Structure 1
Amino acid sequence: MAASAYLVITLGSIILSLVMGTATPAWLVTMWYPPSEITGKSPLVPVLGGLLLLGLVNSWMLWQVLRGPAPTAVPMSRAARWLRLLLYADVVWLLIPSLLPGLVETVIGLALWVPALVLFTMVFTGSGWPFRLALLLLGLMEPVRSLVYDLADDSVFRLFMSPAYQVTVMAAGVASFVAIVMLLLAQRRDGRWSRMTLLIGLGIFASAFLVELVDGLTRGSTIESIAEAMDVLYIVWLARTAHELNREPKQNAPLRVPTAVAAAATVLPLMVIGAEGRPHLTYTWQSDEPTECWTWWKPPRVADVPANKRDWAYVCSVSKPSRHVSDQELLGKGWNACARFAAGEPVRARPALLALLCPEVIGRKYPDLLLSSAQIAQQEAEKENIQRERLRREARKEDALCRDPWPALRTRFQATASYYDWDTQPYGIYDAEADTEEDAEKIWDAKQVDTLATSGQLALIYTPSQDWATCVTAKALNSAPPPLRRKGWDEVVEADIISESGRLVMETLSASKVRFPNLARNGPGRYRLRLYTRPGVDLVLIYPARRAA
């Protein structure tokens, strides 16, 4: 009665959708959740046809699920009663739409299935304990895999899975397949389940395969969602297994697979593989998970990729998550582009990408693309070394042109170097072992910056921006120097600077790496800094403040 009522409601929703011109009523009745925007853009009649077929499937599923247990032939054990209860609870959980997070749904599903799997091994007859133990161990691998997969769903770990993890996931999938086959074999050996129940159990594999086939052919359309909702054989198998659990175990005849099922199992893979000349799907096949690929900011260099992984690297570089294109289709387009490039025809593909497929063709015109990252880095380092050496030679010439502006005031602790002020940046004198970050912030935050600005253990000297070098001479003295006439200088300023470590250093000014001596002649303490400046010449005198005149 419930299945018939649902079928009548489905037919009514289909008629209402035709009258209203929208698939929303039929979608809500058959899919049990609101439609998406894609549904409204799809043609109405094909969508309603698919929903009508889904309504028939759901009615059949309800008829199978809502039947009561079979008449009791023999008293049931406690394990069988608990198994029947868990199977029906699992059916109810799968039928009720859930809005819980994926991890919570996985935990609830495992809490229902894992005890049921253990009870299966206790209830089965006709199978030895080694077979049931193997069934239990293999069957537990899939729940563990599902739990780990959901725990890593939103983490960066999923983007860079190790090969060992991928092999483990693949092994768990194979173990799950083998466990279901062993479960169906144990049901057949037990003898209490009907042949139809066993065939529906085998149909679980075919239905899952058909869903993937429709997914690949429709590429995310409305038909794909309807096809996924038709995958109800697992729910029916659970319900029939619980329904027939009351029967008496007996040895049935060997399960014979109908010819139609065997023919379908042969034809369906051929539909996916296609003829010999068509492209075969290889690496990811519409997979939305980046388990086989990683993202590069730019294509990898062909010399950095092993020869057996260059096709893979090309697919990873050109595939886009928004476009569902098979790997072999991408490779086919790449090889065609290589052929056109070799013939001298214009191609839209980047040579750096095509070099992964046909390096010998691309290398004739772009030999640099065949170099490895190490070779490119070496070339860049050589260019930088040549540039630095050129700057050193020019700086040494500039340094040789600089003269001491006060040659009469001689000291062993002095040096002269040229300084270019291209970006109007000052040069500094500071305590070599002090943290001058706060001092620099105070100077930069000042409303007005003079030619000489000091704060604590840092002094910054601002020279006018110009297109020629400034000759900077610094002299460290034991006492205050004699006064120098201001004639010939644009500005003469003084300020204090502190050295707690006893080491005041001048930053490197010239590209020739001229080294200035320690400007704190008397060790730790306060020093006086006097600056004489005119266009192209700076003279810096540093002496202890306590001995200042």
Structure 2
Amino acid sequence: MAASAFLALTVGSVILSLAIGTATPAWVVTMWYPPDEIVGTCPPVPVLGGLLLLGLVKSWTLWQVLRGPALRAAPTWGAAAWLRLLLYANAVWLLIPSFLPGPIETIIGWALWVPALVLLVVVVTGSGRPFRLVLLLLGLVEPARSLTYGLADAAVEPRLFVSPAYQVTAMAAALATFVMTVMLLLAQRRDGRWSRVTLLIGLGTFASGFLVELVDSLTRGGTIESIAAAMDVLSIVWLARTAHELNREPSRKAPLRVPTAVMAAAVLPLLMVVGPEGGPRLSYTWRSDGPMECWGRREPPRVADIPAHERDRAYLCSVRKPDRDVSDQELLGMGRGACARFAAGEPVKARPALLALLCPEVVARRHPDLMLSSAQMERQQAEKENVQREELAREARKEDALCRDPWPALRTRFQATASYYDWDAQPYGIYDPKADTEDDSGALWTGDPPETVATRGSLALIFTPSQDWATCVTAKALSSAPPPLRRKGWDKVVEADIVSESGHLRMQTLSASRVRFPDLARRGPGRYRLRLYTRPGVDLILVYPAGRAA
């Protein structure tokens, strides 16, 4: 009568919802709690169709829960009586929605189910003690896990859910629950009190759980998921039918042994959880890699820089083109075929640096330099550059030794001579090392190109004629003005002013032999006069304090 009344009420609420254009009345009657906001944004017809189907299922569930016990075939007393009471209490608790906090709901649920499980293990017959002990231990795994993590500190809870230990524990608890359910159904079948329909409904609890997960993964929004979750009532029906048929006479057959199917169900998920020792190393593609896995590079990486198990991937990253849809295996096959032709001395289109990633032992016979790492190449390049610098320094010392002071009569302790090669028609300079000469340099280069010397502020640039031999440059720092201009023997003699703000004027390093010129500002900060004597192959520079008239 209650099931029929609920079904009639459900149909009436659906008709009312269709009339007024909202699913709220049908939702409240069928789901037993107010709808969320998302229900109002969904089309009403699909929602009402799901609610009508849910009403039919709930009416059947109510009929299974509320009908009386089976025809009495054996007296029910003691543990069996308490078991029936707890089973019905579990069914009612799962059937009626609860709005209590999550931890409280979990505690109440386990407080009802754990005693029922213990009594069910005690009441069931036809199973040996080891079997029932294993069944009980597996059934207590999930309650123990939920209670442990439920008592955890609220600040630690977010970290627990993402930790590997929590994931492994949840997987082990799910596996234990699965095996426990299978063993419980086998024990019911062996006992003989429960009908085939009850056992089939117990097996259907797996299918209902998978159905909810499937609907949740294929749909978006909370409406369809809520209806699918509410239709997960087979476990409630199984509890009610188990309590309903508990007063039947057990068959009391021989003790139940653990069937092979149970062992397979317990071992197979473990084999699925335990992964291989290493990931697959043959099938990868640039499409599935992260943005930094296969970045575009002009040259392939050196084989010595790549671990052996990553060389196939590096080869694919180097040869794959986004506009060519070629499988990884085909690319690797073509590369190994090129390695075989390369070993036989046949011409191949692939570069040896690429083939070295697939067959380094073959490429090393003809190109041993490709087997060097980047660090070794850098050391070799640094050694080569050091040898070149030493050679240039030796040649520069020879050129410096050939240079002579063009005005030996004008001696000073602050002078130096060095050779300067003007290969690219670049000037050499005199500057204040502590002054900002960037603007002065820009102004000198953007102006009209000078013929010999150009000065601005604290910078002077000396331009010598482009030639294929070294220019001997002599610079002398004087404390006073030199003798009058001597033009004999020189092509040009020019003068210009230069300012030293810090009291220092430095000649740039000219020769590869690293000859150091002295400080050309003898009198500290102030204005200085720079006089340049020049002829092919020889420059003479005199720097002295400028007079007041200058």
Pair in the same fold by TM > 0.5: yes
Q: 2:290 maps to what in 1?
A: 290
Q: Partner amino acid for 1:68? A: L
Aligned partner of residue 244 in structure 1, secondary structure: coil
**Runs of at least 5 residues in structure 1 that lack an aligned partner in the other structure:** 1-58, 84-114, 149-167, 209-228, 270-279
Contact 2:403 2:418 in 1 (8 A): yes
Distance in 2 of aligned mates of 1:235 and 1:117: 25
Residues 462-492 of structure 1: CA deviation (Å, up to 9, x unaligned): 2233333222111100100111233443333
Report the counterpart of residue 240 of structure 1 in structure 2.
228
Which residues of 2 match residues 273-288 of structure 1 at below 5 A? 282=282, 284=284, 288=288
After superposition, residues 300-319 of structure 1 pair within 5 angstroms as 300-319=301-320
Listed as ranges, the matches of 1:66-465 within 5 Å are: 67-68=53-54, 70-71=58-59, 80-81=97-98, 125=113, 128=140, 129-133=143-147, 195-196=203-204, 198-199=206-207, 201-202=209-210, 239-244=227-232, 247=236, 250=239, 282=282, 284=284, 288-290=288-290, 293=293, 295=295, 297=297, 298-319=299-320, 327-447=328-448, 449=450, 451-465=452-466
Q: In structure 1, what is the Cα distance between the partners aligned to 2:339 and 2:46?
A: 54
CA distance in 2, matches of 1:389, 1:501: 35
C-alpha deviation, 1:244, in angstroms? 3.0
Amino acid at match of 2:229: T
Indicate the larger mover: 507-516 or 282-291. 282-291
- Over 3 Å counting, the alpha-carbon distance change for 1:368 and 1:285 in structure 2 is closer
In structure 2, do the counterparts of structure 1 residues 244 and 120 end up closer, same or farther at CA, with 3 Å as the change threshold?
Answer: farther
Q: Which residue of 2 aligns with 1:536?
A: 537
Counterpart AA for 1:250:
L
**DSSP 3-state at the match of 2:404:** coil
Corresponding residue of 1:525: 526
Aligned-partner Cα distance in 2 for 1:184–1:299: 51
| SS of corresponding position for 1:406 | coil
Equivalent pairs, count: 401
Provide Cα deviations, 1:10-30, integer angstroms capped at 9, x if missing partner: xxxxxxxxxxxxxxxxxxxxx
Contact 1:352–1:369 (CA under 8 A) maintained in structure 2: yes
Identity of aligned residues (%): 54
For residue 100 of structure 1, what is the aligned residue in structure 2? none
Secondary structure of the equivalent of 1:364? coil
In 2, Cα distance between equivalents of 1:312 and 1:413:
64
CA drift at 1:381: 1.7
Normalised TM-score (structure 2):
0.58
Cα separation, 1, equivalents of 2:294 and 2:533: 60
Q: Is the 8 A contact 1:197 1:237 kept in 2?
A: no
Q: Compute the TM-score of the two structures, normalised by the length of structure 1.
A: 0.58
Change (3 A) 1:185 1:335: same
Q: CA deviation at 1:396?
A: 2.5
Worse-superposed segment, 536-545 or 482-491: 482-491
Letter in 1 for 2:352: P
| Secondary structure of the corresponding residue to residue 498 of structure 2 | strand
Query: How far 1:441 moved relative to its partner?
Result: 2.5
> Is the 1:503–1:520 contact (alpha carbons within 8 Å) kept by the matching residues of 2?
yes
**1:492 aligned partner:** 493
Question: Cα distance 1:238–1:329, how it changes in 2: closer, same or farther (>3 A)?
Answer: farther
CA distance in 2, matches of 1:428, 1:118: 86
Deviations 1:109-143 (A, max 9, x none): xxxxxx99997787574564214357889xx9xx9
Give the Cα separation in 2 of the matches to 1:144 and 1:340.
58
SS of 2:365 mapped into structure 1? helix
